[in-house]
Amino acid sequence: MCYDSIYKKIAVYDGAEYNITVGNLNLSNASIGIELWGTDDCKIVNNIVLNNWYGIYLHSSSNNTLQDNTVNSNGYYGIYMSSSCNNTLTNNAFIDDGLFVVDSYRNTVENNTVNGKPLAYLEDTSNLTIQNAGQAILVNCTNITVESLNLSNTSIGIELCETDDCKIANNIVLNNLHGIYLHSSSNNTLQSNTADSNDCDGIYMVASDNNTLTNNTISNNWADAGIRMGSSSNNTLQSNIVSNNCHGIQLGDSSGNMLANNVVSNNWYGISLWSSNNNMLQSNNASCNDDDGILMYGDSCNNTLQSNVVNSNNDDGIDLSVSTNNMLQNNTAKSNNRSGINIASSSNNVLMENTASYNWCGIYLHSSSGSNMLQNNNVSYNDHGICIFYSSDNNTLQSNTASSNSNHGIFLYESNNNTLYHNNLIGNTQNAYDRGTNTWDSGSEGNYYSDYTGTDPDGDGIGEESYPILGGTSIDRFPLMQPWTPPLLQNGDLNGDNEITPADAAIVLAFAAGGSASCDAATLAAADVSGDNRVTSLDALMILHTAAGAIEL
């Protein structure tokens, strides 16, 4: 029931006794100073709880009184309450410490201080503003404003538990375990806060949806992440500056989130997604990180990465590992130590209109990465332009430009059944190299090679002689005499047959279902007949009316 050890100084388990008083003790240098587990109706009074991992720990314990205790410099939490209700905490002094509550309700928390300031604890409260606090905890609250506070050297600067529609703005949370923590909390706004030098996370959200984080500065949170989300959906992270953390922004098992215009630099990892689906990463700058700029792994699917800049990272610019059905479009990956874009054990992804330069490899597919589409990418001034290695089969490379790479333009090794056509290979030391069995033309047109010396006696733009691919027996049967340029599509004519028909409307509907990111710039221009810079069902409807002669485009 009660004992003294290096692990726990005082512990009471499973209702062994009631009405126990633990008082006037000095409890230090253990894992837990005082622990109540499944225990009710006890008093913990006038103790000094110092330098433990947990000062006072309550789990599934109710109707206890914690009063007049000094809780000082415990490693994780001063007082930790889990699944514990109807307890009373009064006149406790937290020094370099604080309170943490999870799944705990109807507790009375009054007249406590954190580093000499009031502990602001609100439960079932609405329409208030918190001022002059050493720590702020909101449980089942709505429409609370926490603004312009300086919260440092406590367990969690600001905690929201099952709390909605609150504003957290212009606070400084410094040197805590976690800066700001949200659990099961929705529709809150976190704006213009500074979270610096916290031991774990700057901002941590668990099971929290539809929150907005804008213009926050998150730095030097080295144990975990600047911003970390777990099982959280439909949040917006926009225009935050996240630097010098372990993970800059980390999503785990989180879906439907928007990350836009964030600057994520000088972290270990810039932005990382684990087992996270249907997220949009747009116009972020994830550069100068110690490992990857953007990392997606653990079966992260159906995400869109669009118009991000991932330069000068110590590993890859963008790294996909065991992730499928993602769209990477119009990203810039320059001067990364390894690959601009790395695709490992990942299939059915689309890489479109990306620029990868001055990397070891511009775009690198390997380790059974199959059935990916690479289209309209520009890879230049790398050691290798595009590499397809190690059982990466059934990929399509179309309309890419690989130029001025110091080794290979396109390099295939131990990979088969890939199809390559309409690619431009210009000024590489070796334009093409293939150690597998692959197809280097569409059946009527192949690729352009700057070192091709064949002739075109009939002037059809196709070389009379085939182009042998170094490394094996592959050939391009229909090498192009000039660099490939896509044909200009008539407005509304998506299939290029010089007519506007219901078939074109069907193509537009398919693009609309996938979002505008599913088509390249030329196709977007032809499909967007309404002129709103999007491809929607309205465009398909207008094409149908045009095909029927009802309107003119």
Q: How confident is the model at residue 73 (pLDDT cuts 50, 70, 90)?
A: very high
- Provide the pLDDT confidence category of residue 8 given band limits of 50, 70 and 90: low
Confidence of residue 6 (pLDDT cuts 50, 70, 90): very low
- Residue-level pLDDT at 494: 82
Percent of the chain clearing pLDDT 70 (strictly above): 96
Is the pLDDT confidence value at 498 over 90? no
What confidence tens digit (pLDDT) does each residue in 123-135 have?
Answer: 999 999 998 999 9
Cα gap 34→551, rounded to integer Å: 79
Amino acid at 206: V
| pLDDT value of position 12 | 75
Distance, in Å, from the CA atom of 469 to the CA atom of 477, rounded to the nearest integer, reads 10
Beta bridge partners of 378: 355, 401
Per-residue model confidence as pLDDT tens digits over 433-463: 999 999 999 999 999 999 999 999 999 999 9
3-class secondary-structure state, position 97? coil
pLDDT at residue 516 tops 70 = no
Q: What is the spatial distance between Cα 81 and Cα 292, in angstroms, rounded to a whole number?
A: 37
pLDDT band at 14 (very low <50, low <70, confident <90, very high): low
| pLDDT number for residue 515 | 60
Which pLDDT does position 31 carry in this prediction? 95
Span of 68-82, 110-124, 403-417, 501-515 with lowest mean pLDDT: 501-515
Mean pLDDT of the chain: 95
Which pLDDT does position 512 carry in this prediction? Answer: 85
Rounded CA separation 56/278 (Å) = 41
The mean-pLDDT minimum among 32-41, 469-478, 498-507, 511-520 falls in 511-520
Contact residues for 510 (Cβ-Cβ < 8 A; gap 6+): none
Residue recorded with tokens 């979002």: 515
Instruction: Give the per-residue pLDDT at 352.
Output: 98
Domain 488-553 of CATH type 1.10.1330.10 = yes
pLDDT at 316: 99
| Percent share of the chain, pLDDT over 90 | 85
Q: What letter would DSSP give residue 168?
A: E
CA–CA gap between residue 415 and residue 436 (Å, rounded): 5
pLDDT band, very low/low/confident/very high, at 17 (cuts 50, 70, 90): low
Mean pLDDT of all residues in 90-100? 98
CA distance 73 to 375: 57
**Rounded to whole angstroms, how far apart are CA atoms 62 and 81?**
10
Is the pLDDT assigned to residue 16 strictly greater than 60?
no
pLDDT greater than 90 at residue 376:
yes
Do the Cβ atoms of 420 and 438 come closer than 8 Å? yes
Residue range 38-49: average pLDDT? 97
**The predicted structure's pLDDT at residue 518:** 56
pLDDT in tens, 311-348: 999 999 999 999 999 999 999 999 999 999 999 999 99
3-state secondary structure (DSSP) of residue 525: helix
Residue 478 has pLDDT above 80, yes or no: yes
Asked whether 284 and 264 are in contact (CB, 8 A), the reply is: yes
- 186-211 pLDDT, tens digit per residue, is 999 999 999 999 999 999 999 999 99
Residue of higher predicted confidence among 223 and 293: 293
Residue spans per domain, the chain: 8-95, 360-486, 488-553
User: How does residue 2 score in pLDDT terms, banded at 50, 70 and 90?
Assistant: very low
